[in-house]
Homo-oligomer: A and B are copies of this chain.
C-alpha cells in the first residue's frame, strides 16, 4: 500500500475543497465555476479533474466536509463528566458557528431539496447530529439531574429535537446575517 502517496493525495483533495468552500461561501454552490476554483486554489482545471470525477463529486465532498465539521464539536460534550444543560448546549453550538460554514450549510439545504446525492448527505448528517444531541442531553439528565438512564433517554428525545431545531434556525440566521465578503473581481 502506498500510504504516503495516499496521504499526499488526500492533502491535495483537501486543498481543493478548501478553496472550493471559500468560493461557495462567496458565490454559492451552483454559481461557482471551475474557473473560480482554479483561481482560488492556484491549481488548474486539469489538476482538479485528476482528483474529482466531476463538479458534482467536488460539491458532494465539500458539503460532507462542512457538515462533518459542525458535528465534530458535539462528540466531546456527551462524554464529559459534567455535560452542559440544554440551554448551555445550544449556546455553545451557536457560539461555534462560522459564518462561511453557515452560508455553505444553508446552501446545501437548498441543494438537497432537488439533488438526491446532497439530500442523502444532509439527512445523514442531520440524523447523526440529532443523535449526538440526544446523547448529550441524556448524559446531562443522568449525570447532573440524576435521572434514571432509561427514563432519561426517553425524555431526552423531544429536548434534543428542540435544541436541533433552534440550532438550525440560528444557522440560518447567521447565514442571512453576514453578507459574503466581496470578491476582488
Contact = CB atoms under 8 A, between A and B. Distances in A.
A123 B30 CA distance: 22
A160 interface: no
Each complex incorporates copies of this chain amounting to 2
A31 B114 contact: yes
Interface stretch (A72-80, A105-113, A141-149): A105-113
Interface string A6-50: 000000000000000000001111110000000000000000000
B103 A106 contact: no
Contacts of A175: 109, 112-113
Contacts of A107: 110, 113-114
B109 A172 contact: yes
The residue among A169, A170, A175 with the most chain B CB atoms within 10 A of its own CB is A169
Given A28-B110, A31-B114, A106-B110, A165 B169 contact: yes
Interface of A: 26-31, 103-104, 106-116, 119, 122-123, 126, 162, 164-166, 168-170, 172, 175-176, 179-180
